[in-house]
Chains A and B, each alone.
Chain A
């Protein structure tokens, strides 16, 4: 188990897991199990896969700084790129399968539907991140690379907003609220003061745990 969460095992898990949603969509399509509304099913499932992978990627940095889990930094980029890949499939499904490349219709709904505006904005913000994700771009942009990649702080809330706006009623479909909570926490953990406090708390907890572990077993009674 410990090994699994170390670098190589984790990487294998990420690469296998990230292809799974696509494999399942294709398998369900092949056996005609994509519901009576297959375009909707593909849109929903690519969108959900994208959100999950992006949130996982977004969680890597806090997981590292707060828990000292180093291995996650080595899957952060892969998770983000897979997340973007599903977003790309999602957009392609919308433009090609759903709207049959009818640009006039697409232009009309993009301005009319708020949730599409949020989705398009999130996608547009993620695009430069995906394009500049290579080592080469990292070297070329130097300090500016970090600035560019802060766009994710805008892209993540927009992606969740996109989800919140498209459900019929949040009362009946509270799931987007859960994602909003998760993304808010992950954003908050990046605020310097919150990060410092959380880090201190974590160190104190770890210390306390270590002390109790050292005292046990029976050590309490020895004094």
Chain B
């Protein structure tokens, strides 16, 4: 993790004006968070960064490969789709605050030679690198996010998928007493599940994420471990993973089960394939006015060979 003191200098034009920064709501929220985290810190061992008030984190002066700047910490951590907590993107951060992420284990099993259960310490050996990825939500907005993590293939190589393994199934934590959203949405087939084809999961872009913005992952962003599959719509990047299972058949996924004709298994970002009820041709980049044209595979053209010979209008 890069210490903040070694950050490249920030141009004054990129610093949010103070009057905007210290708006009343933020200061209030900050106060409450500071109180809350102080109370938590008294009884739970946490990393030093987890105690810092999130409102104070300055914008990182980093850009994606197209030269677009990363979004602000406030944007990344206060505008979240995480239905286990709430369908209100603005409410997730607050409702997820107390989510217990220690102890945590991820069971990797199914069609593998070395099934294994990892705790968070075990994952450290895979290292941690920063990847600046675009995240394109199926709802039509996007952000640029500096994730910390390691390519999933490092972990998959260790468990050794058998020859029968063709897909990877991911399962999120399901803790109704800590996840008020699941109680409000009893008809959803919880827990949240997602899936990738094995070659997609082995692709170097597919990241197992443990941090963001140089810090540990906050609960609303899918702590302690989530996926980032940047060329697919955001919901494929499953949060708070507890199980990774290698399987032979294409696994059921939550959104594909809820509305199969609207959310396909692949769900690659594709401006030419509209959602049945809305266009996917453009997107609103959070922090910008106006719209951008959405790029095929969200701009990650290097994944195109994965889908050679496939009709992506049929396999959406």
A-side residues, CB < 8 A to B, are: 31-33, 35-37, 39-40, 97-100, 102, 105, 108-109, 112-116, 165-166, 168-169, 171-173
Whether the Cβ atoms of A36 and B78 lie closer than 8 Å is yes
- Which residue of the partner chain, among B24, B74, B291, contacts A100 with CB atoms under 8 Å? B291
B66 contacts chain A at the CB level, 8 A cutoff: no
Whether the Cβ atoms of B284 and A37 lie closer than 8 Å is yes
- A to B contact number (C-beta, < 8 Å): 82
- Which residue of the partner chain, among A109, A172, A173, contacts B281 with CB atoms under 8 Å? A109
Q: Which residue of A lies closest to B16 (CB)?
A: A32
- Which residue of the partner chain, among B74, B258, B262, B291, contacts A105 with CB atoms under 8 Å? B291
Whether the Cβ atoms of B188 and A115 lie closer than 8 Å is no
Whether the Cβ atoms of B290 and A100 lie closer than 8 Å is yes
Known contacts A32-B23, A36-B286, A173-B87: A168-B139 contact under CB 8 Å = yes
Whether the Cβ atoms of A113 and B23 lie closer than 8 Å is no
Q: In angstroms, how far is the closest chain B Cβ from the Cβ of A200?
A: 39
Whether the Cβ atoms of B277 and A98 lie closer than 8 Å is no
Known contacts A98-B290, A172-B87: A112-B278 contact under CB 8 Å = yes
Whether the Cβ atoms of A40 and B289 lie closer than 8 Å is no
In the complex, which residues of chain B have a beta carbon less than 8 angstroms from the beta carbon of A169? 258-259, 262
Q: In angstroms, how far is the closest chain A Cβ from the Cβ of B299?
A: 19
B interface SS class: loop
Q: Mark B183-213, 1 if CB is under 8 A from A, else 0.
A: 0010110000000000000000000000000
Q: In angstroms, how far is the closest chain A Cβ from the Cβ of B165?
A: 31
Task: Report the Cα distance A116→B278, complex, angstroms.
Answer: 8
Interface residues of B in 276-315 (CB under 8 A from A): 277-279, 281-282, 284, 286-287, 289-291
Whether the Cβ atoms of B278 and A97 lie closer than 8 Å is no
B83 contacts chain A at the CB level, 8 A cutoff: yes
B-side residues, CB < 8 A to A, are: 20, 23-26, 71, 74-75, 78-79, 83, 87, 89-90, 138-139, 141, 185, 187-188, 258-259, 262, 274, 277-279, 281-282, 284, 286-287, 289-291
Task: Report the Cα distance A171→B79, complex, angstroms.
Answer: 21
In the complex, which residues of chain B have a beta carbon less than 8 angstroms from the beta carbon of A33? 23-25
Pull 18 A–B residue pairs with CB atoms less than 8 Å apart, ordered by A: A32-B25, A32-B26, A33-B24, A36-B74, A36-B75, A36-B78, A36-B287, A37-B284, A40-B284, A100-B290, A105-B282, A109-B281, A115-B277, A116-B278, A166-B277, A168-B139, A169-B262, A171-B185
Q: In angstroms, how far is the closest chain B Cβ from the Cβ of A115?
A: 6
Task: Report the Cα distance A98→B283, complex, angstroms.
Answer: 10
Whether the Cβ atoms of A99 and B278 lie closer than 8 Å is no
In the complex, which residues of chain B have a beta carbon less than 8 angstroms from the beta carbon of A166? 277-278
In the complex, which residues of chain A have a beta carbon less than 8 angstroms from the beta carbon of B188? 171-172
Q: In angstroms, how far is the closest chain A Cβ from the Cβ of B14?
A: 17
Whether the Cβ atoms of A35 and B281 lie closer than 8 Å is no
- Which residue of the partner chain, among A31, A114, A171, contacts B277 with CB atoms under 8 Å? A114
Task: Report the Cα distance A97→B288, complex, angstroms.
Answer: 10
Q: Which residue of B lies closest to A32 (CB)?
A: B23
Q: In angstroms, how far is the closest chain A Cβ from the Cβ of B71?
A: 8
Whether the Cβ atoms of A108 and B24 lie closer than 8 Å is no
In the complex, which residues of chain A have a beta carbon less than 8 angstroms from the beta carbon of B259? 169
Task: Report the Cα distance A112→B278, complex, angstroms.
Answer: 6
Task: Report the Cα distance A97→B290, complex, angstroms.
Answer: 6
Whether the Cβ atoms of B277 and A165 lie closer than 8 Å is yes
Task: Report the Cα distance A173→B291, complex, angstroms.
Answer: 25
Q: In angstroms, how far is the closest chain A Cβ from the Cβ of B87?
A: 5
- Which residue of the partner chain, among B20, B87, B141, B290, contacts A32 with CB atoms under 8 Å? B20
